[in-house]
Structure 1
Amino acid sequence: MKPLPKTLRRLILLFGIWCFLWTPAWAAPTISKIRVHTENELITLDAELIDAFNEKILEAIESGVTMTFTYEIELRKQTSIFGDDVVSQNKVIQTVQYDTLKKVYQFTSQGKNVNRKVSTRSQERFKQLMLTLKNIPIAHVYKLDPEEKYYARVKAEMEAEGLWFPFNYLLFFLPFNEFETSWTQSTPLTLHRDAAFGVAASQKKSEPAIPAKRVANGIRSFNQ
């Protein structure tokens, strides 16, 4: 019987080691701590992704694999007859790539009215950046009716990029190839009226994206 090529034997051995080190008890990633608030004329969202990193994912990143977390965000109006209506959506793509020469993590976050870049040498820092949504714009206040109830929901997906043959096929069998969480939604949201807010908005030196008359009813903050 013809022996296997040396390269193939090494790959099989490497795959066996990875399978041995695989920890099946890795908790499923989930979205938590969804918070919705207003900032001037915008409705913004905060959220956290938990249990998204394990040792193998971190090792892959430090080996040069680019990791991307894609967050899908929706603001919906509750209805009782025809199903909930989508008021607004945003998609935020957060990516980390490790520069093995400079020993620096390059983080980017891009979406609708979102554009951020951070360089850090701290593993904890890049993890915190990747796992956190902070002040993400999801709608303008004029789109909401104070008499209605709303909620926000978020889900996340992870993809590994930059894998070459045959590792892209070997990693198919590993737990960190990719994941997609289920939707997590906030508690019901309503709006406060504040007569002073419309006046304050109209007195700003620079005009807001929404004319002051659109927020003259004083919609300012959420009651969760």
Structure 2
Amino acid sequence: METMDKIQILDPNEIFPNEYKTSCFLKNVITAPNIFVGDYTYYDDAVDPTGFERNNVLFNWPEFGDKLIIGKFCALANGVRFIMGSANHRISSISTYPFSVFGGAWTEAAPPHLSQLPFKGDTIIGNDVWIGRESVIMPGVKIGNGAIVAAYSVVAKDVEAYTVVGGNPAKPIKKRFDDELIALLQELRWWDFEPEQLTAFIPILCDSNLESVRAKLKEMLKK
């Protein structure tokens, strides 16, 4: 049996983690100053996975002030899109029309466009979140650790940790686990493990015997 130091640990700084090159580790292809992605989070796209920032983060104007923050070990399926806050229109006045963006006398007469838009805050995706194909995440949404978003959903409200949501607008379908197991996972924070510790922990992460997993997590947290 190979010792741990001889096993090749997956490098989070690789753009393509496997030979298929349909998935890429997103943090290595992001250039916008207001997008932050954790280690091992990937986007899957058979055509252009490295084009995520250009094709899937829409209306991103960093000067507007909002951020897109995605945690570690997230799985983003083909076509997942994030709508940033500057996609909005002014809603505090009798017209929502963006007069100031068209130049000339209209720009002179209207207040600056970005200053009038409703600010929803940062969009924050936790760790180990799976977002299904063609789903849309609206500005300012917070999605907790371990959540699952069903394919073709539109997420307009916050999602609690380890909750499955789906639909348009997305609504809770079920909790993945009971409250005790969720609390154990939140306390353990396995996504912050060092690479060798994580590799050794993978059998537990993939074990469908949840009672066995529960017992092991309790033992680990005692140490």
On whether the aligned pair clears a TM of 0.5, the verdict is: no
Q: TM-score, normalised by structure 2?
A: 0.25
Q: TM-score, normalised by structure 1?
A: 0.24
- The structure carrying a bigger strand percent of its residues is 1
Larger Rg: 1
Compare relative contact order (CA 8 Å, sep 6+) and give the higher one, 1 or 2.
1
